[in-house]
A and B are shown apart, each in its own frame.
Chain A
Amino acid sequence: MTVPMASSVKEGENGHELKFQLVDKSLKKCQFQQDALIEVLHSAQEAFGHLDEEILDYVSLQLKLPPSWVYGVATFYNFFTLDPQGEHVCVVCLGTACYVKGAGEIIARLEEALEVEAGSTTADGSLTLMTARCLGNCSLAPMLTLDAEVLGKQTLESTIAAIEAKRALVAAAAEEEL
């Protein structure tokens, strides 16, 4: 039995179907090969921002893999997240060079200042604070990424300022819309 693809059965105009179409595109590109599970999960996460049960179930159906297998792979790798992310994502590098230069303290004080634990999202959903095991920009230590931007030689103050600037930008945009 062939499993109908989400993009063909779910006709709709909202973003949800469009996102499934991106997953379908990736499924077709890899010819529904089971070995391509990680690539498919990558594109699914890119489309949805996270991997929830519905998505994992869909991928497991399409690749004809057991659900537990797909769940096992999705939870093995750090990159895949099963929870929705905040509007902004701040990743603090905790590689050796950054650690030697005081990144440990930055993350501890960021957690305090933003009232959020590393690995989770603020209550208002505006920011997800993450840590990484080395982003490979050691000459910029201590460094972090805010969304896609690389910020080097950071201090606690500069980091908070950057985050606040991002948040303010969103708030301003929201006001304009109103």
Chain B
Amino acid sequence: MPVITLTIDEELVSARAGQSILEACRDHEIKIPTLCHLDGLSARGGCRLCLVAVAGSPRLLPACTTAVQENMVVTTSNEKIERYRRMILELTFAERNHTCAVCVSNENCELQTLAAELGMDHVRYDYLNPDLPLDTSHERYGVDHNRCLLCLRCVRVCDEVEGAHTWDVKGRGIKSQVITDLNRPWGASESCTECGKCVEVCPTGALFTKGSAVAEMKKEASFLRRILDGREKRQWRR
């Protein structure tokens, strides 16, 4: 595979053609915050946390969907990018009801961790406090829309890895919400295989295993890599 060279944060690095900026950065242990991205799933470019500056582009570009190019000059962090990332997190917190203290994923939550890492310690915008339901109709799992970030990892893993496409999104804009089948209770879904992948990939406490008390719900997103390696490379690691 052709190798190309580019500059990331003033350092000359090599990458494989066709890689995204994000992949190239991860190969060189340059950290870029992400929320909707998950290795093994298609790139989405929706959370906008991985925005980076690329010389010659008038706009910031999402590292997850932008392919590397020969001689590209990428800046992954500067004062403005950091400020925008914090603001985007503020908006994310303001959108739904993220009450960490009573959340099953408290201290095991990607959103919470990111806020701490990026130094987002308060929200300056109006909390929208939407009135959202909690669906515990499924025998083993539950979905709490109050914690959902609409990263759509569940939708993508269900479609791309499990192949069931039980999840999708209804409505649009601020009224978007993840749904199962024809917006029926999860427990009544005919297409759900109960594989639990959606629960594992969910970055917050929106999807959880029933019976988890506050702070007990630990996710293991890396299992997806295991399944994909098994399928594609015929290697089963543990």
- Asked whether A66 is an interface residue with its Cβ less than 8 Å from the other chain, the reply is yes
Residue of A nearest to B159 (CB): A66
Structural contact, A75 and B181, CB atoms closer than 8 A: no
Write the nearest CB–CB distance from A133 to chain B, whole angstroms. Answer: 13
Return 20 A-B CB contacts under 8 Å, by A number.
A53-B182, A66-B164, A66-B165, A66-B166, A66-B181, A67-B191, A68-B166, A68-B168, A68-B179, A68-B181, A68-B182, A68-B183, A70-B182, A71-B168, A71-B170, A72-B168, A72-B169, A75-B170, A76-B171, A76-B172
Residues of A whose CB lies within 8 Å of any CB of B are 53, 56-57, 60, 66-72, 75-76
**Residues of B within 8 Å of A, CB-based: how many?**
16
The 9 closest A-B pairs by CB, nearest first: A68-B168, A66-B165, A72-B168, A75-B170, A67-B181, A67-B182, A71-B182, A76-B172, A75-B171
Write the nearest CB–CB distance from A107 to chain B, whole angstroms. Answer: 20
Write the nearest CB–CB distance from A120 to chain B, whole angstroms. Answer: 16
Structural contact, B171 and A68, CB atoms closer than 8 A: no
| Residue from B159, B172, B183 in contact with A71 in the complex, judged by beta carbons closer than 8 Å | B183
New contact pairs (16) apart from A66-B168, A68-B179, A71-B170, CB-CB < 8 Å: A56-B182, A57-B182, A66-B164, A66-B191, A67-B182, A68-B165, A68-B166, A68-B180, A69-B168, A70-B182, A72-B168, A72-B169, A72-B179, A75-B170, A75-B172, A76-B172
- A-B contacts counted at CB < 8 A amount to 42
Write the nearest CB–CB distance from A88 to chain B, whole angstroms. Answer: 26
Among B165, B168, B179, chain A packs the most CB atoms within 10 A around the CB of B168
- Complex Cα distance, B189 from A71, in Å, reads 14
- Asked whether B208 is an interface residue with its Cβ less than 8 Å from the other chain, the reply is no
Structural contact, A68 and B172, CB atoms closer than 8 A: no
Contact with A along B138-171 (1 / 0, CB 8 A): 0000000000000000000001000011111111
Contact of A69 with B165 at beta-carbon distance under 8 Å, contacts A53-B182, A56-B182 already known: yes
- Complex Cα distance, B159 from A53, in Å, reads 22
Among A57, A60, A68, A70, chain B packs the most CB atoms within 10 A around the CB of A68
Contact with A along B163-198 (1 / 0, CB 8 A): 011111111100000011111000000010000000
Residue of A nearest to B168 (CB): A68
Write the nearest CB–CB distance from A78 to chain B, whole angstroms. Answer: 9
Write the nearest CB–CB distance from A79 to chain B, whole angstroms. Answer: 13
